[in-house]
Amino acid sequence: MPNTVSADEIRERFSQEMSRMYQSEVPQYGELLELVADVNLAILESHPHLYQQLENADELARLNIERHGAIRVGKTEELATLKRIFEIMGMYPVGYYDLSQAGVPVHSTAFRPVDDSALTQNPFRVFTSLLRLELIEDQQLRDRAATILAQRDIFTPRCRKLLDIYDEQGCFTVPQVNEFIPEVLETFRWHQQATVDMQTYQDLHREHRLIADVVCFRGCHINHLTPRTLDIDRVQSLMTEYGMTPKAIIEGPPRREIPILLRQTSFKALEEVVLFSDHQQSTHTARFGEVEQRGIALSPKGRALYDALLLEAGQGIDNFHHQQHLCQVFSRFPDTDIELREQELAYFRYRLTPAGESHRQEITPADDIQLLIERGWLLAHPIIYEDFLPVSAAGIFQSNLGGEETHRQHGEGSRGVFEQALGTSVIDEFSLYQQAQEKSKRRCGLL
């Protein structure tokens, strides 16, 4: 079919439109984008080497764009339809996150691009959570929530029609994309008008704030977007100056020579006016802005060490002491690329240098990688972590639900149930990194 649009282009346009919509809905998010751009610029000015590195990798232009957003849905059918929508944008469900262990009654996946070229073009992903109504203890309330959810359709009729057209055609034309994007955005728009009366909202809210957020509205409003920063510690400390209230601590690992996994912080959710069906009025806290800084992807062994150290470090009350304490505890996590490689704690992408290329014939899988690197034949670049961290995600959830959180629900994960709702299994994130590493080794003659 002539003039079809690629999934990468659709994702790019969608993320831009989403950002525009969110900035107009939550002006403070626009201010966060400015803060992040200022910090990134200052870092680049004082680190010419980093500037060069990003320029070489064609990353400068897209430095400040959103890396992810998050939504929460209430029904299995909603999740399955989102899967169809995101697939059109080249985003596939990767990873299973059980948040019930942290007292948040949802389980989640991240819809994201999976191959290198798609990630380079636009890495936008959407952390998507499905409410677990079965974790509501009160049977009556559970039934009430289910009934309310059963009555809503978060997708426009035209959006559903376009999904069917896509299935028939296997692609979209330019005019179809022009229609598709605004139709999809309707699902993520904020509705000040709740679908329920105030009493129902309060009953659900009392059970868990998140349940009220998911159940009481017509759509699954985007609850945050997240740009990338080159210095999250600086963003955290500047937030107050820019008139935002930062969450208490930066989630994830501490600052390191070789950054690992993912560090995140956010400004706290706004209190927004909500109108109920019985014409009463109250406020709701759900929407905020987040910042992320990504490092190297860890192997299962590296991840196990990360999880153990994080557990040992525990939760700090203020960021300064928490980071100091984390640094101490994480001194047991090797922080040179040689150790990370030799102990197989992290994933690398290998590339031959011009000198290596000219000796390609001599390189065999039996060669010592470290020797090849020292000889100047081989380069090893960190493979960046593209996923999320359940403990961090729980921290982000908790600090943005407003007020003090009660840890009531503690459940078991149920990946099978989630995958059934999704209509497919989630992709294992470790195997993606492993494959990327192996592919690069094979290209170098090392496998």
Chain contacts with ligand OOG (rule: CB under 6 A): 70, 72, 127, 129, 223, 264, 290, 388, 392-393, 396-397, 400
Choice between 294 and 322, CB closer to ligand OOG: 294
**Smaller CB distance to ligand OOG: residue 118 or 126?**
126
SS (H, E, C) the chain: CCCECCHHHHHHHHHHHHHHHHHHHCHHHHHHHHHHHHHHHHHHHHCHHHHHHHHHCCCCCCCCCEEEEEEEECCHHHHHHHHHHHHHCCCEEEEEEECHHHCCCEEEEEEECCCHHHHHHCCCEEEEEEECHHHCCCHHHHHHHHHHHHCCCCCCHHHHHHHHHHHHHCCCEHHHHHHHHHHHHHHHCCCCECCCCHHHHHHHHHHCHHHHHHHCCCCCCCCEEEEECCCHHHHHHHHCCCCCCECCCCECCCCCCCCECEEEEEECCCEEEEECCCCCEEEEECCEEEEEEECECECHHHHHHHHHHHHHHCCCCCHHHHHHHHHHHHHHCCCCHHHHHHCCCECEEEEECHHHHHCHHHCCCCCCHHHHHHCCCEEEEECECCCCCHHHHHHHHHHCCCCCCCCCCCCCCCHHHHHHHHCCCCECHHHHHHHHHHHHHHHCCCC
Q: How far apart are CA 404 and CA 79, in angstroms?
A: 29
Instruction: For residue 251, state whether it binds Ni ion (rule: CB under 5 A).
Output: no
Nearer to Ni ion, 8 or 66 (CB): 66
Question: What is the smallest separation between the CB atom of 68 and Ni ion, expressed in angstroms?
Answer: 6
Tokens for 412, please give them: 């078991």
Q: How far is the CB of 110 from ligand OOG (least distance, A)?
A: 9
Residue 388's binding partner among ligand OOG, Ni ion, none (Cβ under 5 to 8 angstroms by kind) is: ligand OOG
Choices 65-73, 240-248, 347-355, 424-432 (CB under 5 A): range interacting with Ni ion: 65-73
Toward ligand OOG, which CB reaches closer, 287 or 349?
287
Nearer CB in complex with Ni ion: 70/436: 70
CB of 31 to ligand OOG, least distance (A): 19
C-beta nearest to ligand OOG: residue: 393
CB of 390 to ligand OOG, least distance (A): 8
**Two tokens, residue 273:** 């006016």
The minimum distance between CB 179 and ligand OOG, in angstroms, equals 28
Q: How far apart are CA 37 and CA 230, in angstroms?
A: 10
Q: Which is nearer to ligand OOG, 39 or 131 (CB)?
A: 131
Smallest distance from the beta carbon of 311 to ligand OOG, in angstroms? 18
User: Is-contact 376 397, C-beta < 8 A?
Assistant: no
Give the residue with the Cβ less far from Ni ion, 290 or 386.
290
Least spacing, CB of residue 228 vs ligand OOG, in Å: 12
Least distance from C-beta 27 to ligand OOG, angstroms? 20
**Partner whose footprint covers residue 401, from ligand OOG, Ni ion, none (CB < 5 to 8 Å by kind):** none
To ligand OOG, the closest distance from the beta carbon of 129 in angstroms equals: 5
Binding segment for Ni ion (CB under 5 A), chosen from 26-34, 42-50, 282-290, 316-324, is 282-290
When binding is defined by CB under 5 A, the residue of 203, 251, 290, 429 that contacts Ni ion is 290
Q: Nearest approach, Cβ of 124 to Ni ion (angstroms)?
A: 12
Of residues 261 and 436, the one with the C-beta less far from Ni ion: 261
The answer to whether 387 contacts Ni ion (rule: CB under 5 A) is no
Q: Of ligand OOG, Ni ion, none, which one sits near residue 22, judging by CB under 5 to 8 A according to partner kind?
A: none
From 40-48, 159-167, 286-294, 336-344, give the range in contact with Ni ion by CB under 5 A: 286-294
397 is in the binding site of which of ligand OOG, Ni ion, none (Cβ under 5 to 8 A by kind)? ligand OOG
Which token pair is 191?
Answer: 């509705």
Tally of CA atoms within 13 A in the half-sphere of 179 that contains its CB: 15
Residue 398 binds what, of ligand OOG, Ni ion, none (CB under 5 to 8 Å, by partner type)?
Answer: none
By the criterion CB under 5 A, which residues form the site for Ni ion? 70, 290
